[in-house]
Chains A and B, each alone.
Chain A
Amino acid sequence: MGVDKETIKQKTKTFVAENYILTSNDAISDDDSFLETGIIDSTGVLELVAFLETTFDMKVENEELTTENLDSINKVVDFVCVKTAAKVEAVAAKGDA
C-alpha cells in the first residue's frame, strides 16, 4: 500500500524545514521554487533526493532530476506520489502474474 499524499507532504516539509529553512526569512510557500529562492542548491538537491529515496523506498533516475519534479514542495509531493503509485502497481502486477 502506498503512502498517502498528506504524509508525503508533511515528511517532505519537515525535511526541508530542518535542513534549509534556517531563519524566518527563509520561509517559503509550498509552490515557491527552491532554486529561485536560493533555499536549495544542487548539493541540496542531492540531499533531497537521498531523503526521498530512503524515506519512500524509491529510486530517482538521472533523467528524473528535473525542476519539474523537484523544485518546490508541491512538485516533490506530486513526483513522489507518481513514483510510489507506480511501484504499488508494479508490485500488484507481479503478484497477479
Chain B
Amino acid sequence: MTPVAQLSTDALRIDAAQETERIAASIRDIVFTQLRRKGAVVGVSGGIDSSVVAYLCVRALGKDRVQALFTPEADSSPDSLRLGRAVADDLGIKSALEDIAPLLEGAGCYRRRDEAVRMVAPEFGPGYKFKIALPSAGGDSDYAIFSLVVQSPDGQTKTVRLSPPAYLGIVAATNFKQRARKMIEYYYADLLQYAVAGTPNRLEYDQGFFVKNGDGSADFKPIAHLYKTQVYQLAEYLGVPEEIRRRPPTTDTYSLEQSQEEFYFTLPLDKMDLALYAKEKGIAPEAAAPALGVPADKVEKVYRAIDMKRRVAKYLHAAPILSA
C-alpha cells in the first residue's frame, strides 16, 4: 500500500522542458512522417488544453504550419473567442473565425435541445437559461444522476431531476456542437493538407469526456497522456497567457455557466487527477481519502465511478468493427 504522504500533486510533477521537447518530437514524427501532412489544425477554444496543444504544435512544426480555428456558437462565452485570439496572436499563427450557430440552427440543435428541456421544465423559453449538473461525490447519492438547473429571466433558479428522455434528448442535441466543430476542422485539414490535432487531456480521454465523432475525433492527440495538473505545468512553461491559466475550466456548452465538475467529474479537477492516479497505482481508498478530501467510502464511490465511465468510454473510443 502506498503511504498517504506520497499521494499529493507532487506525484504528478513533470519536467516541463523535457516533456515539451518529447511531445514536439512526437508531433513532428506523427504529422510529417506517419501521416505525411503539411501542418496541424487546432480548434482553439480559449481553454487551457487547446491552448497548450497550439503552443506545442508551433514548437513542433513552426508557426507557418499551424492553423487555429475559432468556432463559437450561440451559447459560447465571449471570453472564449477573445482568449483564443490572444493565443493565436501570441503565437503569430493564422486563424479563422467560423461561427457555427447558423449550422446548428439549420440542423435543429437548439430546437431539439429546448424541446428536451421543456419535458421537465415546460416554462422554459426565451430569456431562460439552463445547465445540467451532477451532485458532487461528497454527496449522498451513489449514482451520477443529472439534474436540470433552470434560471428564469428574473433570475429565479430551480433544480429538477432529469427524466431519461429529457437527459438523453439534451445530450444528443448538444452533441451537434462538437460534431459541427469537427466538420469545420476537417474542412481546413482537407484544404491545407493538414492533420487535425485533438485536445483531450488524460482525464478526459480515460473517462470519456468527449463526444464520439465530435471532439473525440482527431488525427493525433498530443496531451491525452497528461493529467490536467500536468497540462497546467506545460502551460506555464510554454508561456500560455496567464488569464487562460487562471480561468476555471468550463464546458462552454450551456447558457448557464457550468463547470466540468458539475457536468462530468463530480470532484474538483485536481482531485479527479489524483483519484485517477491513485486508482491506477492501486492505492486503497482509506489511504487516498485524506488527499482527495472526501471520506474513504466516498473514495470507493469515485473509484467505482471511474470504472463505470471507462465502460461507457469503450463505446466512445471504438473504431468501426468489421463483420468480416
Interface residues of A (CB under 8 A from B): 35-36, 38, 41-43, 45-47, 50, 62-63, 65-68, 70-71
Residue B140 interfacial (CB < 8 Å): yes
Q: How many residues of B contact A (CB 8 A)?
A: 17
Q: In the complex, how many angstroms separate the beta carbon of A81 from the nearest chain B beta carbon?
A: 20
- Given A46-B162, A65-B142, A65-B145, A41 and B167 contact (CB-CB distance below 8 Å): no
Taken together as a complex, chains A and B put the C-alpha atoms of A33 and B304 apart, in Å, by: 12
Which of A35, A42, A68 is in CB contact (< 8 Å) with B145? A42
B36 proximity list for chain A (CB < 8 A): none
Inter-chain CA distance A67–B300, complex, in Å, is 13
Task: Check A46–B141 contact: CB distance below 8 A.
Answer: no
A42→B164 contact, CB < 8 A: no
CA distance in complex: A43, B145 (Å) = 7
Q: Is the interface of A mostly helix, strand, loop or mixed?
A: helix
By beta carbon, the residue of chain B nearest A65 is: B141
Does A62 contact B161, Cβ atoms closer than 8 Å?
A: yes
* Alpha-carbon distance between A66 and B144 when the two chains are bound, in angstroms: 10
CA distance A30 to B200 in the complex (A): 39
Q: Do the beta carbons of B164 and A41 come within 8 Å of each other?
A: no
For B142, the chain A residues whose CB sits under 8 A away are 35, 65-68, 71
* Cβ-defined partner of A41 (8 Å) among B163, B168, B311: B311
Q: Which residue of A lies closest to B171 (CB)?
A: A43
Q: Tell me the bound Cα distance from A65 to B144 in angstroms.
A: 10
Q: How far does the alpha carbon of A36 sit from the alpha carbon of B301 in the complex, in Å?
A: 11
A67 to B140, CA, bound (A): 11
A66 to chain B, nearest CB (A): 5
CB neighbours (8 Å) of B162 from chain A are: 46
B187 within 8 A of A: no
A68 to B143, CA, bound (A): 11
Q: How far is the CA of A35 from the CA of B140 in the complex (A)?
A: 17
Is B312's CB within 8 Å of the partner chain A?
Answer: yes
- B17 interface residue per 8 A CB criterion: no
Known: A35-B308, A47-B164, A50-B163. A42 touches B143 (CB 8 A): yes
Query: Which A residue's beta carbon lies closest to that of B144?
Result: A42
Are A38 and B311 neighbours in the complex by a CB distance under 8 Å?
Answer: yes
A38 to B307 CA separation, bound complex (whole angstroms): 9
Task: Closest A residue to B140 by CB, please name it.
Answer: A63
Distance in angstroms between the alpha carbons of A71 and B140 in the assembled complex: 15
* Shortest distance between the CB of A39 and any CB in chain B (Å): 10
Shortest A37–chain B CB gap in Å is: 10
Point out the residue from A46, A63, A65, A70 that lies within 8 Å of B167, measured CB to CB.
Answer: A46
How many angstroms between the C-alpha atoms of A66 and B143 in the bound complex?
7
Residues 132-144 of B, flagged 1 when their CB comes within 8 A of A and 0 if not, give 0000000011111
Chain A residues, CB < 8 A from B144: 42
Cβ–Cβ contact B143 & A65, under 8 A: yes
- Interface 1/0 per residue, B160-183 and A, CB below 8 Å: 011110011000000000000000
The smallest C-beta distance from B291 to any residue of chain A, in angstroms, reads: 25
Interface centre among A36, A65, A66, A70 (most CB of B within 10 A): A65
B167–A43 touching, CB < 8 Å = yes
Least Cβ–Cβ distance between A54 and chain B, in angstroms: 10
CA distance A35 to B307 in the complex (A): 10
How far, in Å, is B49 (CB) from chain A's closest CB? Answer: 25
- Chain B residues contacting A35 (CB-CB under 8 Å) are 142, 304, 308
* B168 contacts across to A, CB distance below 8 A: 43
Bound: A66/B311 CA distance, A: 20
Determine which of B140, B163, B308, B312 lies in contact with A46 in the assembled complex, contact meaning CB atoms within 8 Å.
Answer: B163
How far does the alpha carbon of A42 sit from the alpha carbon of B168 in the complex, in Å? 12
